[in-house]
Structure formats: structure tokens, C-alpha cells
Amino acid sequence: MRVAPPVVLTNEQRRTLEQWARSRSLSVRQVQRAQIVLLAADGKQDLEIAAAVNVSNQKAARWRKRFLQKGFPSLEKDATRPGRTPTITADKIEDVVRKTTQAKPDNATHWSTRTMAGAIGISEKSVRRIWHKHGLKPHLVRTFKVSNDLQFAEKLESIVGLYLNPPEHAIVLCADEKSQIQALDRTQPGLPLKKGRCGTMTHDYKRNGTATLFAALNTLDGTVISMCDDRHRHQEWLKFLRVIDGVTPQEKQIHLIADNYATHKHPKVQQWLSRHPRQAQRQTETLYLDREGIRHNGKGQTRSR
């Protein structure tokens, strides 16, 4: 007959287990485990403990063994369980990741959860969980462009320096144009907004040509200097530079940040800038210029009726 390993308790351990065994505030499981360990410490075998506590002998042996291995913490909390066997094998998970990152479907630009589920033979939710676990988002594409300008680093430092530490007694303006703004008008007048009824407008419209918005954002206070014109040639850009020159204080230097659009580099524009030294135009790569405020302003003009 196999004999269970003996349990030896100190006086302090016995007092704690006796308190647990009499407790009415602890869980039934913890009280029962304390009773099992106390009976084991009294020299009882697992069959005798099982009969006294009304549990199986396997359960009595289990909690005797866990207390000998880990002490009180093993009685307070259940041991971790492995969980159910995964239905999706590691090979299928690897196949999903490989197809997502290295292949494309025949009739689409990227994988969707449904197309991937059909190609692998698993559920759509399983594909979504695998993508989430591996941080895959095939529907998103981030664009990039490496500049071939040999002086790009110097231009970048110059413009970032203007944004972060603008010079004293100077105005830093970020300028751009929004072209092809459609001037639309409805074919019939609509009814105004009133209580219980929204405003109305016709579904069709008539075109009144296009307009170009020129805007310069003051990076210090967020104010915008703007001008609308029919076209966006160098003549209109010169007109906008004159508007900026007229509305800004004459005693302050102007640092104008613009992209490398051909209109901004026209010889007549350069001649005008040379005759007006207080306006210093900084040009950099179009893709690296921070013009979100200008574009937001242009979008508002485009969406207006």
C-alpha cells in the first residue's frame, strides 16, 4: 500500500489553517482545502481524509501535494490550466501571415478577412484574430518618398528652425495654393430651415467656373492671409505676395515658406523678391512641407456652397 507524504506544520501554520477551516467569510473551496491539510497533518491518509471531508481521494492527494510544494498560496488560488486545444494549427497561422505579407489575391489589391478565410479554409473571425495578434493591417498603406535634393538636410533644418524658434521682429508664414475649387450654384432656390423641417436644395447644380485660393498661415498665432483668383500662374502668385506685403507691418521681416512649385521659382518672382528684401522665401520639397492648415482651409472653401 502506498503511503502519502507526511505534512508537518508549525504552530503558526496550524493556527492559520484552523482559522481558515472555521471561517464563514472565505470561499468554500479554501475552507475545504484547509481542512484537508489539517487532517493530513494529523497523520490521516488520503482515503480517510476523503471520507471525512466528503471529497475524492484524488482531490485529497492533490491538495496535500500542492501544499507541500507551494504552501499557503497554493490553497488560496487555483493553479493555471492549459485551456482547450487550439483548433487552428501553427502551420495555418504561419500560412495566413505569409500570404498577408508576401502575396496578393488574384482579383484585388489586398487581402480582406473574407478572401483570406476562403483561401486558407478558416473562419473570418479567426483571420481577424490572427491579424490583430501579429499587428497586420493589409487595408492600410503608408506612402513615402526619399528626396533626391542634395541640400534637403540644410533646407529641412532651416524650415524646422523657423517653426520651432522663429526670429524676433519677424513673421513666419507657411504659404500654399488650393486650385480647381469649383464655384457651384443650385439651379433653384431652396427652402430655409424652420422648426420641424430641414433646409432644402436641389439635387442638380450649375457650374460657374473654378477658383484658386492662395493662403498664408501665420505659424505663431494661426491667422491666415488669403486671396482668391481665377488662375494660379506666377502673375497670381506675385499678386498674392503684394497682398502679403501690404497687410503685414512694414518694420518686420517676412519668412515665407513655400514648396518648389514652378510658379514660385519663376524668374519674375525672383526679381520681385530681390527688389523686396524684407520677404525671404524658403523653398523645400513639396512632400515634406507642413501645410495641413492651408489644406484644411482649402477644403472648407471647396465644400462650401
The mean pLDDT of 82-108, rounded to a whole number, is 90
- Nearest residue to 261 (alpha-carbon basis) of 176, 197, 203: 176
Give the other-Cβ count within 10 Å of 275's Cβ. 8
Q: What pLDDT shows up at residue 156?
A: 83
Mean pLDDT throughout 132-158? 87
C-alpha cell at 282: 524658403
Residues 6+ apart with CB under 8 A from 212: 177, 178, 179, 180, 181, 228, 229, 230, 231, 232, 236
Greatest Cα pair distance, the chain, in angstroms, is: 110
pLDDT of 292 reads 47
Q: 24-55 burial by CB neighbour count: b if 16+ within 10 A, else e?
A: eebeeeebbbbbbbbbbbeebbbeebbeebeb
At 147 the pLDDT is: 80
Closest CA to 186 of 208, 167, 214: 208
Q: Is 99 exposed, middle or buried (0-12, 13-18, 19+ CB in 10 A)?
A: middle
Per the CB < 8 A criterion, the answer to whether 205 and 172 are in contact is no
- Residue 209's alpha-carbon distances to 180, 184, 206, 213, in angstroms, are 9, 8, 9, 14
Cell of 219: 505659424
Residue 270 is which amino acid? Q
pLDDT tens, 195-254? 999 999 999 999 888 899 999 999 888 899 999 998 889 999 999 999 999 999 988 999
Query: Is the pLDDT confidence value at 303 over 60?
Result: no
Count the Cβ atoms, other than its own, within 10 Å of residue 138.
19
Over 60: is that where the pLDDT of 289 sits?
no
- 169-188 mean pLDDT: 89
Q: What is the mean pLDDT of residues 9-38?
A: 92
What pTM, to 2 d.p., does this model score? 0.52
Residue 196, CB-side half-sphere exposure with 13 Å CA sphere: 0
Range from 20-24, 159-163, 209-213 carrying the lowest mean pLDDT: 159-163
CA-to-CA distance for 241 and 235, rounded, in angstroms? 10
Q: How many helices (H) and strands (E) does the chain have?
A: 12, 5
- Percentage of the chain modeled with pLDDT above 90: 54
pLDDT band at 302, cuts 50/70/90?
Answer: very low
| Burial class for 69, CB neighbours closer than 10 Å (0-12, 13-18, 19+) | exposed
Which cell numbers in the block locate residue 127?
483571420
248-288 tens-digit pLDDT: 998 899 999 988 888 888 999 999 999 988 888 877 654 44
User: What's the sign of the alpha-carbon dihedral 291, 297, 303, 305?
Assistant: negative
DSSP states of 254-276 = EEEEEE--GGGG-HHHHHHHHH-
